[in-house]
Amino acid sequence: MSFLQNLNWRYATKKYDAAAKLSQDKVETILEAIRMAPTSSGLQPFEVLDVRNPETRQKLQAAAFGQSQVTDASHFLVFAAWDTYTPERIKKVFDTIAAERGPLSDDTKAYRDGLMKNYPARDAHVNFEQAARQAYIALGFALAAAAELKVDSTPMEGFDPKAFDEILGLDKRGLKTVVIMALGQRDAANDWLANLKKVRLPKAALIQEVK
Ligand SMILES: Cc1cc2nc3c(=O)[nH]c(=O)nc-3n(C[C@H](O)[C@H](O)[C@H](O)COP(=O)(O)O)c2cc1C
């Protein structure tokens, strides 16, 4: 199947087969797609939690309006963005670049110093919102990767972020939940959405050529 056929195959799965477990290599590929996602200035200002503990998943389900995907899906990911940018967080990214590529050029140092001066000075909420947008890019990569692997997935915003942060102890780590994702195998017989036609706006309503 082509990339576009796979995107058409995927849908926001409502009901997972709780007995079906994904192979670790498929999960690793999806996690690697997340790691490879581009981010503004390459800061990768988020973490992804692969929540395996069943009791924790039950608590999270209660904080996600009881959505069954949280507990039934083979795997469950929580995308948590930095609550703000700090000089230390930014420096660490550039230290990693230097470790991989060798000493930073003067231009790169000046760019880093500009980020370290300007970003932390902004309102923390502005910084968090920007970090959250980067996490969504990674979510998109994960959705596309899952479709390519014929892994079912659900991107989800229907949850209480504060409750998630508390259950997962994210506040203490300077992180906030922004979006969550279930991964597994559809229970087609019990999923009302499984066989419905995919509906999207026509191209003309979404994409305008500017001449
Ligand atoms: C950011 C985001 C949040 C969503 N939140 C939920 C959710 O909490 N629960 C759910 O079942 N579906 C959720 N969806 C699924 C959307 O309703 C679905 O992707 C959209 O209707 C398009 O349908 P499709 O993904 O099946 O093609 C969400 C999708 C996105 C992209």
Q: How far is the CA of 14 from the centre of ligand 1 (A)?
A: 9
pLDDT at 1: 76
Q: What is the mean pLDDT of residues 31-48?
A: 98
Q: What is the mean pLDDT of residues 11-37?
A: 98
CA 148 – CA 151 distance, rounded (Å): 8
Label residue 165 by pLDDT band (50, 70, 90): very high
pLDDT at 73: 98
Any residues with CB less than 8 A from the CB of 12 and at least 6 apart, and which? 153, 154, 155, 193
Residue 156 CB–ligand 1 contact under 6 Å: yes
Q: How far is the CA of 26 from the centre of ligand 1 (A)?
A: 22
**50-89 pLDDT per residue, tens:** 999 999 999 999 999 999 999 999 999 999 999 999 999 9
Residue type, 70: V
Helix (H) or strand (E) holding 176: strand 175-184
Which CATH architecture group holds 3-85+122-206?
A: 3-Layer(aba) Sandwich (3.40)
Closest-lying ligand 1 atom to the alpha carbon of residue 14: 11
Q: What is the mean pLDDT of residues 128-152?
A: 98
pLDDT greater than 80 at residue 148: yes
Which spans in 22-160 are helix H? Answer: 24-36, 54-62, 69-72, 87-101, 106-118, 124-148
pLDDT at 49: 98
Residue with tokens 């949280």: 70
Residue 198 CB–ligand 1 contact under 6 Å: yes
Helix (H) or strand (E) holding 82: strand 75-82
pLDDT at 120: 98
Q: Are 127 and 82 in contact (CB under 8 A)?
A: yes
CA 20 – CA 13 distance, rounded (Å): 14
Q: How far is the CA of 93 from the centre of ligand 1 (A)?
A: 32
Q: How far is the CA of 32 from the centre of ligand 1 (A)?
A: 22
Within a 13 Å sphere around the CA of 5, how many CA atoms are in the beta-carbon half? 4
**92-134 pLDDT per residue, tens:** 999 999 999 999 999 999 999 999 999 999 999 999 999 999 9
pLDDT, mean over the chain = 98
Residue type, 41: S
Any residues with CB less than 8 A from the CB of 129 and at least 6 apart, and which? none
pTM score, two decimals?
0.97
- Nearest CA to 10 among 175, 151, 123? 151
CA 166 – CA 115 distance, rounded (Å): 30
Best residue among 154, 159, 186, 193 to mutate for probing ligand 1's pocket (most ligand atoms within 8 Å of CB) is 154
